[in-house]
Structure 1
Amino acid sequence: MELFSLPVFTMAVPAVVFAGISKGGFGSGVAFASAAILALVIDPGMALGLMLPLLMLIDVASLPAYWRKWDWPAARVLLIGGVPGTLLGALFYAWADPDAIRLIIGTVAVAFVLWQAAVQRGVVRLGTQHFGPRVGLGAGLALGFTSFVSHAGGPAAAIFLLGQGLSKTRFQATTVLVFWAVNLLKCGFYAGMDIFTKESLLMNVALAPFAVFGAWLGIRAHQYVSEKVFFSITYVALFATGLRLIWVALT
């Protein structure tokens, strides 16, 4: 399906607004759902290239609201691990075909929802112990890799940050800072690997207002909207999207 078409634009607008709300107000854990949704209707590489500049715009729009409210030691260890993780992601992307990317995105989506269900039911307990730098480096490595190939670095960051016992705002500020830096690093690789196209960049211009609007909504919703309601809806959609991507990749 062509990028500049009514079905793609109709799908892209709510996906981009959702990414803005998620990154602006609820951490970056489920913002990758936007790329997963777009991968249902366009080539997954094109979906990744389309979303990255918009995610970076959302980072810039969100950063002032959380300026210097982050936990720098936690952010630093994630970023140190994120650099080699990003390199590994670039190597995998250069080797993989579109169905392999679909399979990765779909598997991460389904695994993330199952992980969250395990946490909610008490099977896995987070926030009850302090994770050290080694866990942070491992989380950063996973963050860099999954972020490069699916924009799905949020879950890896969340596992480590939740073990730091951060407040909601400090957690949010740290994720905004980390993904601003990681996305900036990814941008150079995406440009060098021709993941960006003239068509995708023009589409970015058209979608930019929706990204900023989503970030603004997310910042406001951070104080007033129940996280339980937001994430419950997101997990259902993400699980269905992940299963669909896995099915398409395998068949």
Structure 2
Amino acid sequence: MLTDPFFYLVAIPAVILLGLTKGGFAGIGVVAVPMMTLAVSPVMAASIILPILLVQDVVSVWSFRKTWDKAILVLMLPAAAVGIFLGWALAALVEEAAVELAVGAISVVFALQRLWAEHALRAADSIEAGPARPWLGVLCGATAGFTSQIAHAGGPPFQIYVLPRGLPRDVFIGTSAIFFGVVNWMKVPAYLALGQLTPQALATAGVLLPLAIASTWAGVWLVRRVPAEGFYKVIYVLLVLVGGKLMFDGARGLLT
């Protein structure tokens, strides 16, 4: 178990942000790994975060277990499995910084385009329910699996396909919770194969788990008090911020 006080100084807010993400404020948890890398290596940070995510997924899936979209999951989860496999197979060849830069740029452009509309909800409501473009769902699912395996950054690709579907708030959150709950478990064999889930990482994650559970419940409580009509606008703004952060981290990584 890590005992460095500075690690916990950055890990505690990172875990709280992860909890808010799992509670429904999709996207902001992507800053958790960069925050922890201020104190530990990126590999150690990702290894500590994965067990925390697995526990937080239980809370979020349980909280929104009655509201989810089956068609989206059936379309995107098999593709995500392929993306996770590719992420594992190419782990030694793919630069994480390049992945972050590409995902961040696409996310910002997409979110700004949606926010540019006169009313994001009206634009979403004008789209038929269900996946109108299955090829895009498969592509985004595979990309979400790949980027989740490489950098715990699967949220933006998932949102690029699902947000325009115009799902009710709780259905969007429930679908996201189940998708990433399954994706995170699919990543476990890859992490084990790469030797990343060390006893030290697991013990450190265990220390942070009570905070992880509490912050996820807090996220569930808070998101249900955000007016449904304003929820998607909040998520689009968060996507811009997250995409900008990924672009910054990616560009800095490539330059250094």
| Unmatched tracts of structure 2, length 5 or more | none
**Could you tell me how far apart the structure 1 residues matched to 2:106 and 2:137 are?**
20
Identity across the alignment (%): 27
Q: What's the CA shift for 1:54?
A: 0.7
Q: What's the CA shift for 1:132?
A: 2.7
The secondary structure found in structure 2 opposite 1:93 is coil
Which residue identity does 1:160 align to in structure 2?
Answer: Y
Which residue identity does 2:113 align to in structure 1?
Answer: A
Aligned to 1:176: 177
* 2:177 corresponds to 1:214: no
| Unmatched tracts of structure 1, length 5 or more | none
Asked whether the equivalents of residues 106 and 245 of structure 1 are also in contact (C-alpha less than 8 Å), the reply is yes
Aligned to 2:252: 247
RMSD: 2.7
How does 1:10-29 map onto structure 2 within 5 Å?
Answer: 10-27=9-26, 29=27
How does 1:126-145 map onto structure 2 within 5 Å?
Answer: 127=124, 128-130=126-128, 131-145=132-146
Which residue identity does 1:20 align to in structure 2?
Answer: G
Aligned to 1:200: 201
Q: What's the CA shift for 1:149?
A: 0.6
Aligned to 1:83: 81
- Cα deviation digits, residues 11-65 of structure 1 (max 9, x gap): 01111111111111223x3322212322344322222111111111110111111
Asked whether the equivalents of residues 36 and 106 of structure 1 are also in contact (C-alpha less than 8 Å), the reply is no
Which residue identity does 2:96 align to in structure 1?
Answer: I
Q: What's the CA shift for 1:237?
A: 7.3
**Could you tell me how far apart the structure 1 residues matched to 2:225 and 2:55 are?**
23
Which residue identity does 2:9 align to in structure 1?
Answer: T
- Cα deviation digits, residues 113-167 of structure 1 (max 9, x gap): 45423332239x8734343322211111111101111111111111221232210
How does 1:183-194 map onto structure 2 within 5 Å?
Answer: 183-194=184-195
Which residue identity does 1:14 align to in structure 2?
Answer: P
Asked whether the equivalents of residues 147 and 154 of structure 2 are also in contact (C-alpha less than 8 Å), the reply is yes
Which residue identity does 1:93 align to in structure 2?
Answer: A
Q: What's the CA shift for 1:200?
A: 1.1
Q: CA 1:76 to 1:236, structure 2 compared with 1: closer, same or farther past 3 Å?
A: closer
How does 1:118-129 map onto structure 2 within 5 Å?
Answer: 118-122=113-117, 127=124, 128-129=126-127
**Could you tell me how far apart the structure 1 residues matched to 2:21 and 2:8 are?**
20
Number of residue equivalences: 245
Which residue identity does 2:222 align to in structure 1?
Answer: A
Which residue identity does 1:50 align to in structure 2?
Answer: I
Aligned to 1:112: 107
Asked whether the equivalents of residues 56 and 213 of structure 2 are also in contact (C-alpha less than 8 Å), the reply is yes
Structure 1, 162-171 or 140-149: larger mean CA deviation: 162-171
**Could you tell me how far apart the structure 1 residues matched to 2:249 and 2:137 are?**
32
Aligned to 2:52: 54
Q: What's the CA shift for 1:179?
A: 0.6
TM-score by length of 2: 0.84
Aligned to 2:167: 166
Asked whether the equivalents of residues 28 and 238 of structure 2 are also in contact (C-alpha less than 8 Å), the reply is no
Q: What's the CA shift for 1:101?
A: 2.2
**Could you tell me how far apart the structure 2 residues matched to 1:41 and 1:231 are?**
30
Aligned to 1:44: 42
Q: What's the CA shift for 1:248?
A: 4.3
